[in-house]
Amino acid sequence: MFQQCAVCHNADSDQKKMGPGLKGLFAKAKLADGKKPTDANVRSKLENGGNGMPAYKDMLTDAEKDNLIAYLKTL
Nearest CA to 49 among 3, 9, 1? 9
Q: What is the reported pLDDT for 1?
A: 83
Rounded CA gap, 18 and 24, in Å?
A: 17
Nearest CA to 47 among 61, 36, 34, 32? 61
Residue 72 CA from chain centroid, whole number: 7
Could you tell me how many residues make up the chain? 75
Q: What is the pLDDT along the chain (75 residues), one digit of tens a residue?
A: 899 999 999 999 999 999 999 999 999 999 989 999 999 999 999 999 998 999 999 999 999 999 999 999 999
Going from N- to C-terminal start, the domains of the chain cover 2-74
Model pTM above 0.85 = yes
Q: What is the reported pLDDT for 10?
A: 97
Region 2-74: CATH code: 1.10.760.10
Rounded CA gap, 18 and 52, in Å?
A: 9
